[in-house]
Chains A and B, each alone.
Chain A
Amino acid sequence: MRFRFDKLGIVIAVLAVYGLLASPFAVLKPNRILQGQAKTVLEALPPLAGGVLLAGLALAIVIALLRAPATLRLIAAVGALAGLVLAMGQAAGFLTPDGNTYARVSPASGFWILLFAFALLTADAITRLQPPPWLRVLFLGVAAVAIGLLFVSGSWNGLSIMKEYAGRADVFWSEAGNHVKLALGSLVAASIVGLPLGVLCHRVRWLRASVLNLLNLIQTIPSIALFGILIAPLAWIAANVPGASEAGIRGIGTAPAFVALFLYSLLPIVANTVVGLAGVPRETNEAARGIGMTNRQRLFQVEIPLALPVILTAIRIVLVQNIGMATIAALIGGGGFGVFVFQGIGQTAMDLVLLGAVPTVALAFAAAVVLDALIEMNSRVAKGGRAA
C-alpha cells in the first residue's frame, strides 16, 4: 500500500510552518498606540519555553499530516492551541522590560496564523467525529471554562488587551450586559410579534405577500441609517407621550438600537414561520382534523411542533445577526461591545478594538453552536415522530 499524507494536514502544515518561521509571534510596543518591534517565536520566549513550544507544535503538525484517528487529531489540535495561548502569556512577561508600565506586548500575525491553522484542525477533527448535539454543547462548555480559567489564572495579564481590560473592567461588564440585552431583548420582542404574525400570514393568504414585501424592504436599509432614522420618531415620542421618557424611551441611546434590531429580526422569523407551517404535510393536518382537533389544538399540538426546526433556524439567524449588529449601536450611544471597537478605531489603539471584537465573535459563535444543537435535536424529534 502506498503511503499518503492527509490533504488538509498539508494545508495546516504549510500554514503552521509559515506562521512559525516566516512571521512574527509577538510585537513589543513602547506604548499602546505606537508601532512596535516584531519578535519571532524564539525571540519572544525564554529558550526553554520556546523549544518546548516548537517541539509540541511540530508533533501536532506530524499528527495532522498522518492519517491519524480523529480523536488523536482533536487532542493534538487542542494541545497545540493551549500551548500557543500559554506561550503568548509567557511572551508578555518575557518581553516587557522590568518596571516599564508603558510598554505593551500584543500577539502578531504569526500567532494569529498558528491559531487559525490549529483551529482549522480542531474544526476538522470535530467534523470527522460527528459528535451528537449534546456533546458539541459540552465541548463549547469545556472551552468556555478553559478560557475562564486562563483569565482567572492571570497568565495573560501582561498582554496589552488585558491591560486595556484592567483599565475599564467595570465598563466592560456593563457594556457586555448592554450588548446581551440588546441582542436577546430584540429577539424576544421580535418572536412575540413575529410568531403570531407568521401564523396569521400562513392562514390569511392576501396578507402574506404584503407583509413579507414590507419586511424585505426594511432589510435593504443599511443598519447605521435605520438606527439614525429612528432617532427622530423616538425623540418625538419621548417628548410627547406621557410616561414614555420615564420608561427609558429616548431619541438616542438604547431605544432606537433596540427598535432597529427588532425590525431587522422580524423578516426571518415571520418568513420561516410561514415556510415551516407550509411544510406540514397535508395528510398530517387532515388526520388531525379527522380525529376532531380544533384549529387551536391543531396549531399548538401538530403544526408548530412540526415547524419548530424551521422556526428555530430563523431564531439562530436572528440571534447571530443581532449579536453582530448590536456593535453598531455604539455609533448612536446605544452601548454594547461596539463602544470599545469604535473608541479603538478612533484612537488607533488596536488592542482596544480587539477587546470589543473578540467577545462579540465569541458570543456569536457560542450562540450559533447552542442553537445548531437545539435545531438538530428538534429535527430528530420531528423526523422520529413522522416515521412512527
Chain B
Amino acid sequence: MRFVPLLLRLLLFAVLVSFLVSPDTFEPLLRPLVDGGTPAIYNQGSLLSLTLQHLEIVFAATLAAAILAILLAILVTRPFGAEFLPLSRSLVNIGQTFPPVAVLALAVPAVGFGAKPTLIALFLYGLLPIFENTLTALQNLPRSVTEAARGSGMTAMQRLLKVELPLSLPVIIAGIRLSVTINLATATIGSTVAAKTLGEVIIAGLQSNNLAFVLQGGLVVGALAVLIYDALSALEAMLSRRLGLR
C-alpha cells in the first residue's frame, strides 16, 4: 500500500518525459479538443526546450531568492540586525500584497522585455516564503540546544553554522518548496512580456482559441509543480528524520 503514491508519481514522471520527448505520440488524445485542420500539438517551438527554459528561469530566480532571504533572516536574528526585525516583518507582509502581473509589468520599463522582468518578479516572490520560514525556524530553536552550544564554548559563527542552520534546514526547505511551486505557475505569466516559458504555449492557445494548447501547457506546468513539490517534501522529511526531529 505504501508504494502506491510513489508508483503514481513515477508514472506521472514517465508520462511527462515521454510527452516532452515525443509529443506527437499523444496527438490522438488531444485531437478531439480542436477542429479538423488545427494542430493539436504545439508547433511553434520545441515543448522540451520551453520546459527546460521554464525550469531554468524558476531555478535561477529561486536560488538567488533563497540566498538573499536566508542571509537577511540570519542578519535580523543577530544582535547587530535586531533593530531591523520588526520592520522586516511588516515589509514581508506588505510585499505579499504586490500582484505578480503588476511587478512583471513595472519591471519592463527598467529592464526591457524578455526573461529579465520575469526573473525579477519571480525573485521577489520567491524571497517572501523563504525569508518567513527561515526567520520562524531560527527564532524557534529549542532553548536547551542553543544554550548547550553556548555552554560548550562555541563562537557565534560556529553556533550558526553547526547548530542553528542545520536544525532550521527542514523548515527552510519547506519555504523553498513553497517558493518553487508558486514560481512555477507565475513564470507562465512571464510570457506576456516575451519570456520563453511554457506560458507561450498557453497564450498561443488563448489567442488562437486552441484548447489543446492551453491544456498541454497547463498540465505540463501542473505536473512539474506536483513532482518538484513532492521531491522537496521527501527531502524535508528525510532531513527531519536524520536530525531526530520526527
Q: Which residues of A contact B (CB under 8 A)?
A: 6-8, 109, 120, 123-124, 126-128, 217, 219-229, 231-232, 320, 323-325, 327-328, 331-332, 338, 341-342, 344-345, 350, 353-354, 356-358, 360-361, 364-365, 367-368, 372
The 25 sampled A-B contact pairs (Cβ below 8 Å) are A120-B87, A123-B91, A124-B87, A124-B90, A126-B90, A220-B181, A220-B225, A220-B229, A221-B222, A222-B186, A222-B189, A224-B189, A224-B202, A224-B206, A225-B217, A225-B221, A228-B202, A228-B205, A323-B99, A324-B98, A328-B101, A338-B101, A342-B192, A354-B106, A364-B99
A338 and B100 CA atoms in complex are apart in Å by 11
Does the CB pair A127–B218 fall under 8 Å? no
Which residues in A have their C-beta under 8 angstroms from that of B62? none
Which residues in A have their C-beta under 8 angstroms from that of B185? 219-223
Closest chain-B Cβ to A349's Cβ sits at a distance in Å of 10
Q: Which residues of B contact A (CB under 8 A)?
A: 33, 81, 83-84, 86-87, 89-91, 93-94, 96-102, 105-106, 108-110, 181, 184-186, 188-189, 192-193, 198-199, 202-203, 205-206, 211, 214-215, 217-219, 221-222, 225-226, 229
Q: What residue of chain B has the Cβ atom nearest to residue A346's Cβ?
A: B192
A7 in complex: contacting residue of B84, B109, B199, CB < 8 Å: B84
Does the CB pair B193–A345 fall under 8 Å? yes
Provide the main secondary structure of the chain A interface. Answer: helix
Which residues in B have their C-beta under 8 angstroms from that of A7? 81, 83-84
- Taking each of B101, B110, B219, B221, which has the highest tally of chain A beta carbons within 10 Å of its own beta carbon? B101
Which residues in A have their C-beta under 8 angstroms from that of B221? 220-222, 225
Closest chain-A Cβ to B236's Cβ sits at a distance in Å of 16
Closest chain-A Cβ to B185's Cβ sits at a distance in Å of 4
Does the CB pair A220–B226 fall under 8 Å? yes
A345 in complex: contacting residue of B86, B192, B217, CB < 8 Å: B192
Does the CB pair B108–A229 fall under 8 Å? no
B90 in complex: contacting residue of A123, A229, A328, A341, CB < 8 Å: A123
Contact status of A353 and B105, CB under 8 A, knowing A7-B84, A221-B185, A229-B215: yes
Closest chain-A Cβ to B192's Cβ sits at a distance in Å of 6
Closest chain-A Cβ to B178's Cβ sits at a distance in Å of 11
Which residues in B have their C-beta under 8 angstroms from that of A360? 99, 101-102
